Amino acid sequence: MNDFSVLIGGKAGFGIDKSATVIGAIFNQLSYRTYIYRDYPSLIRGGHSFSIVRLSQERIATHKEKIDFILALNQDTFNFHKNRANDNCVIIYDSDTVKIEGAPANAQLQGISVSKIIKEENANEIMLNSCIIGALVKASGVNWHVLDSIFRKEFTKETDLNLKVARRGFDEAKEFKKIEPLSQNILPLSTGNQAVGLGLIKGGLKAYISYPMTPTSPILHFLAEIALEHHLKVLHPESEIGVILMALGFSYMGEKVAVGTSGGGFCLMTEGLSFAGMSELPVVIVVGQRPGPSTGLPTYSAQTDLYFVLSAGQGEFTRFVVAPGDTEEAYFWSATAMNMSWEYQVPSIILTDKNLGEGLFNFDINSVSQIKEAVSLSWDGKSPYKRYQDTENGVSPLAFALAKDAVIKVNSYEHDEYGITTEDPKLTISMQNKRLRKEKYLAQELDKIETVKVYGNENSDVSLLCWGSNKGVCIEAANNLGLKVIQPLVLSPFPIKQFQKALERTKKLISIENNATAQLGRLIKTFGFNVDQNILKYDGRPFSLDELEELIKGTIR
């Protein structure tokens, strides 16, 4: 089997997410490319949680509807997912608690007394997962030593007991299929959030500030764990308003800073965003999209904040907005966002979503283009310091507090070159033009980078338009159907020339988005490009490969 999927499900709060990571690591150790989709309710405990781990010989970034191994730790998992069973699907279940009435005719059933084993070993209930993972390893013909090595890496507490429980599951199961190791290199695994964090560090991050909010909270946790190693300040203030204002303080002092939030938190930050625009303070903001309005579906995913981030904040000012689609892009563009912020003294916004941020992917650092930390324009220390010196490209030399002979004023009111408040009409126009002029030079610099990517059959006259985390599913669907994929990465300033070139030979453009109003389709229309058809999904769940292929076929018949 070179492409198969494992679904594990149980109660929220009982370690399903961690178990999926362990399963992914086991098969990744056999050189399979890995993608994990996580689905969980906004509950601390209870409800139904599940993850789909897809393994393949080829690079993947989406899940399939049909499953080859179902691990049912409770009745809901069996009831809700039995119809996903592929032909000869192996269903491994806790025979102490799960009744398998109505199992698919071709399914191969393996009951394990998981609850009884946990009781006999005097183990914690959360180790149900270890037991059933042990059964999966046996059922898939994987050697025990692979599980042993992964468990010793993943479990730092009660490792021996976890292994003992897993061994009981392994010994009670029988082998149904033989998953053979592949002959290719092993690529490390990373979530999109981790890749964003590492990219920010590559861009020179010194401080990360965040109020926890799904789906970007893991960036806060990840950077806090590695803060000492990378000499980072990682802070969790009292609110999102505190986050953005504290970040602007770091920026004023010359510290490269980023914040993370979601739509609701970003709402509270917009006054600070506008402050950054007027005061020309560099700051990077990671916005993890999820369904709204308001709280919406807080643990699910969406692409609904594009227009919000493009226009957030009062007044008109230059901003850099990018939407990476996988871990490599999350890494590269997070570093680039930091560079653009400090080179042009503008706010940068990295648009992610739950599917990218919390999804687990392979991460190939060797495929990422070289990144150098940008050098900001600095004051020469000789001429009188003008914080807002009017220059050809609108970018003023920087100096920071405590610099000798420099008075560094930051002003959210309209101001002159020295930062002194003014309401003079000529100065108002002059300073506004200076700030907006940066966009032209920022766009010219972005022309040197590949900001619009093309995949699939470049000769096809049917193109799929996508952004963000839909990249993976669109590429795989396009490869299967012989179509082209166009993925704009930078959304402000919009890369008009590169997008126009990507459209060559396209007669039918189909936009694939996770929102109800085709936000990218509307955006490109403002630049004179038209979408012929939209495929939109806005139930909080990502497109599966099977689902999207059928929807595309329906539009091109």
> Which residues, other chains included, contact 463 with Cβ-Cβ below 8 Å and sequence gap of 6+?
483, 484, 485, 486, 502, 503, 506, 508, 509, 510
Q: What is the mean pLDDT of the chain?
A: 96
HEC readout, 189-222: EEEHHHHHHHHHHHCCCCEEEECCCCCCHHHHHH
Q: What is the average pLDDT across 128-144?
A: 98
What are the phi and psi torsion angles at 287 (to 5°)?
Answer: -110, 110
CA distance linking residue 325 with residue 328, whole number of Å:
8
The pLDDT score that the predictor gives to residue 495 is 98
DSSP secondary structure of 270-314:
HHHHHHHHHHT--EEEEEEE-S-STTSSTTS-----HHHHHH-SS
Q: What is the average pLDDT across 380-397?
A: 96
Biggest CA-to-CA distance, the chain: 83
Confidence band (pLDDT; 50, 70, 90) for 458? very high
Scored b (16 or more CB within 10 A) or e, 275-293 reads: bbbbbbbbbbbbbbbbbbe
pLDDT in tens, 516-552: 999 999 999 999 999 999 999 999 999 999 999 999 9
DSSP secondary structure of 457-504:
-TT-SEEEE--TTHHHHHHHHHHHHT-EEEEE-EEES--HHHHHHHTT
Confidence band (pLDDT; 50, 70, 90) for 156? confident
| Percent of the chain as helix, strand, coil, to the nearest 5 | 40, 20, 40
pLDDT in tens, 6-38: 999 999 888 999 999 999 999 999 999 999 999
Pairing relationship of beta strands 320-322 and 490-492 according to DSSP bridges? antiparallel
Q: What is the average pLDDT across 431-443?
A: 98
pTM of the predicted model over 0.85: yes
Residue 335 has pLDDT above 90, yes or no: yes
The pLDDT score that the predictor gives to residue 371 is 93
How far is CA 21 from its chain centroid?
A: 16
Spatial contact of 397 and 379, defined as CB atoms under 8 Å apart: yes
pLDDT in tens, 277-318: 999 999 999 999 999 999 999 999 999 999 999 999 999 999
Confidence band (pLDDT; 50, 70, 90) for 44? confident
